[in-house]
């Protein structure tokens, strides 16, 4: 019966659905999992198979699935207010969440602008940066960005991306940008601090050449996630802050992946103890329940938008579902629970534990490098065919773990609240899968 249901759903899916980042010609052949239900760190497919959610449903889950406190907060919110626009109206969940977010944020970030997904927060930040500069009398039409960077899939976000496979197709229709090398892509024998110093020299050269035309530099602080969990030295983040200030560019830190505790601190910029001019967040903001993202801005950026209605200084940007109250209620409940349980500290300890347990597979010939910061982990394996990373994940799936690769980098990024035993199981299954596939 269940098998019939699964086959039927897959057939219907194949007839009518188009999946993101998916080569549809291989979709059915690769035997998609049809998810039926989820609880805690696990989800079950329609055939009753249980899987550990090893990548937090694409880096979003925090407390596990169906977390009682978040479930209750959404239900409670539903009894009061489903949705009204945030254009010309306001509501308590939107106000309260902004206060809570700012209380966690680096000092100096004082304003919250809501968006929907990570990409739409980046999009808003880019427009804000350009408009703030132009309203201060500066003509700065370019953006600086980093090779191997990823900021989402809308055109502004793609413009400041740096992953050839995802982005090169669209180059003819993108914003004008200036690219610097990745601080995490090391030359043979190069240390991370040396790499950071070399890329900062590149950035200084760029600013000296084109600085008066650059509105902002966009970076993923500490870890370039989609680029393959490329970690870099903290001096890079500090150096970008200094150079951006020196040349009058704004610094946009995209914390959509690294924020909300992922790197072992609440925000990745906390490692560098700097404050960006604009900071985006999303993904884990609602604990993996609902789409909500935000741009946090300094008062100086905010003030560049103040004027009379006729001045044209308004930020003409927003969405139908901006600050949806159900999303805000989920985020408030999650942030409260994180504070109550010290989820960030727990995640940091789990990350260290996973790192220690991975040293064994790290010494295996088939593993090129393991990169980790907090619970963001990339295991780069030796390619033995065209889809080695994918094959490792398929093998892990046969043993009850669901993970998704980035090329030949196998990603582990469990919910921050995962237990020690569950994290051990995740590491062990993936290590065994690597040994089986990469021989």
Ligand X SMILES: Cc1ncc(COP(=O)(O)O)c(C=O)c1O
Closer residue to ligand X, CB minimum distance, 318 or 400 = 318
Shortest distance, position 428 Cβ to ligand X, whole Å: 27
Report the residue from 254, 277, 380, 408 that binds ligand X according to the rule CB under 6 A: 254
User: Which residue's beta carbon is nearest to the bound ligand X?
Assistant: 118
Count, residues near ligand X per rule CB under 6 A: 14
The mark string for 71-110 relative to ligand X (x by CB under 6 A, - otherwise) is ----------------------------------------
Q: Site for ligand X (CB under 6 A): which residue of 152, 161, 211, 347?
A: 152
CA distance 232 to 212: 27
CB of 20 to ligand X, least distance (A): 9
Q: Say if residue 115 is exposed, middle or buried (CB neighbours under 10 Å; 0-12, 13-18, 19+).
A: buried
Alpha-helical regions (H) of 169-249: 192-210, 234-247
Q: Looking at beta carbons only, is 122 or 434 nearer to ligand X? A: 122
Whole-number Å distance between alpha carbons of 183 and 391: 29
What is the helix, strand, coil percentage profile of the chain, to 5? 45, 20, 40
Taking the CB of residue 344, how many other CB atoms lie within 10 A of it?
23
Among 93, 161, 184, 225, binds ligand X (CB under 6 A): 225
- Who's near 57: CB < 8 A, 6+ residues apart? 65, 288
Contact 406, 226 (CB under 8 A): yes
Q: Interacting stretch for ligand X, rule CB under 6 A, among 92-100, 117-125, 129-137, 263-271?
A: 117-125
Nearer to ligand X, 257 or 290 (CB): 257
- Interface with ligand X, residue 161, by CB under 6 A: no
Q: In 325-374, which residue ranges form alpha helices assigned H by DSSP?
A: 325-341, 343-357, 359-362
Does the footprint of ligand X cover residue 117 (CB under 6 A)?
A: yes
**Binding status of residue 262 toward ligand X by CB under 6 A:** no
CB of 220 to ligand X, least distance (A): 5
Report the half-sphere exposure of 133 (CA within 13 A, side-chain side).
Answer: 26
Nearer to ligand X, 57 or 104 (CB): 57
Q: Is 354 within 8 Å of 422 (Cβ atoms)?
A: no
Residue 402 as a binder of ligand X (CB under 6 A): the answer is no
> Least CB distance from residue 250 to ligand X, whole Å?
17
* 35-39/293-298 β-pairing: unpaired
Residue from 65, 151, 167, 371 touching ligand X (CB under 6 A): that is 151
* 256 touching ligand X, by CB under 6 A: yes
Task: Please pick, from the candidates 220, 233, 380, 391, the single residue that binds ligand X as defined by CB under 6 A.
Answer: 220
Per DSSP, which regions of 31-105 are E strands? 35-39, 42-45, 50-53
Q: Compute the least distance from the CB of residue 257 to ligand X, in Å.
A: 3
226 touching ligand X, by CB under 6 A: yes
Nearer to ligand X, 106 or 118 (CB): 118
Alpha helices (H) along 136-224: 155-159, 164-167, 192-210
Residue listed under structure tokens 């940007």? 317
With beta carbons less than 8 A apart as the criterion, state whether 261 and 62 touch. Answer: yes
Residues that bind ligand X (CB under 6 A): 117-119, 122, 150-152, 220, 225-226, 254, 256-257, 282
């Amino acid at each position: 019966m269940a098998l019939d249901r699964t086959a039927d759903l897959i057939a219907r899916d194949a007839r009518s659905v188009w999946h993101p980042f998916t080569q549809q010609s291989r979709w059915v052949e690769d035997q998609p999992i049809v998810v039926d239900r989820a609880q805690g760190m696990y989800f079950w497919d329609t055939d009753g198979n249980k899987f550990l959610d090893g990548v937090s449903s694409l880096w979003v889950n925090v407390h596990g699935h169906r977390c009682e406190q978040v479930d209750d907060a959404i239900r409670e919110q539903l009894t009061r207010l489903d949705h009204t626009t945030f254009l010309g109206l306001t509501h308590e969940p939107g106000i309260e969440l902004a206060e809570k977010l700012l209380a966690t944020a680096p000092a100096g970030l004082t304003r919250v602008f809501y968006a929907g997904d990570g990409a739409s927060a980046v999009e808003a930040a880019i427009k804000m940066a350009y408009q703030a500069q132009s309203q201060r009398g500066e003509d700065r039409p370019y953006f600086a960005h980093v090779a191997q960077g990823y900021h989402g899939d809308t055109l502004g976000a793609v413009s400041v991306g740096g992953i050839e496979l995802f982005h090169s197709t669209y180059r003819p229709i993108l914003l004008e940008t200036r690219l610097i090398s990745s601080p995490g892509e090391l030359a043979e024998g190069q240390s991370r601090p040396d790499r950071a110093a070399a890329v900062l020299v590149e950035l200084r050269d760029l600013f000296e050449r084109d600085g008066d035309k650059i509105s902002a530099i966009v970076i993923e602080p500490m870890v370039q996630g989609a680029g393959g969990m490329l970690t870099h030295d903290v001096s890079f983040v500090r150096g970008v802050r200094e150079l951006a200030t020196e040349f009058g560019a704004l610094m946009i830190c995209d914390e959509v992946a690294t924020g909300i505790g992922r790197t072992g601190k609440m925000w990745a910029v906390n490692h560098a103890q700097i404050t960006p001019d604009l900071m985006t967040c999303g993904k884990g903001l609602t604990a993996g329940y609902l789409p909500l993202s935000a741009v946090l801005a300094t008062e100086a950026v905010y003030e560049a938008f103040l004027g009379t209605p006729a001045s044209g200084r308004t930020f003409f940007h927003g969405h139908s579902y901006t600050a949806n109250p159900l999303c805000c209620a989920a985020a408030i409940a999650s942030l409260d629970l994180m504070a109550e349980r010290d989820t960030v500290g727990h995640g940091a300890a789990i990350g260290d534990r996973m790192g220690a347990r991975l040293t064994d597979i790290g010494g295996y010939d088939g593993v090129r490098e393991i990169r980790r910061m907090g619970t963001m982990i990339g295991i780069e394996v030796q390619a033995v065919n065209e889809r080695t990373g994918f094959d490792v994940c398929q093998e892990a799936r046969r043993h009850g773990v669901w993970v998704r690769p980035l090329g030949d980098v196998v990603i582990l990024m469990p919910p921050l609240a995962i237990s020690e035993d569950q994290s051990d199981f995740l590491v062990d299954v993936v290590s065994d899968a690597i040994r089986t596939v990469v021989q």
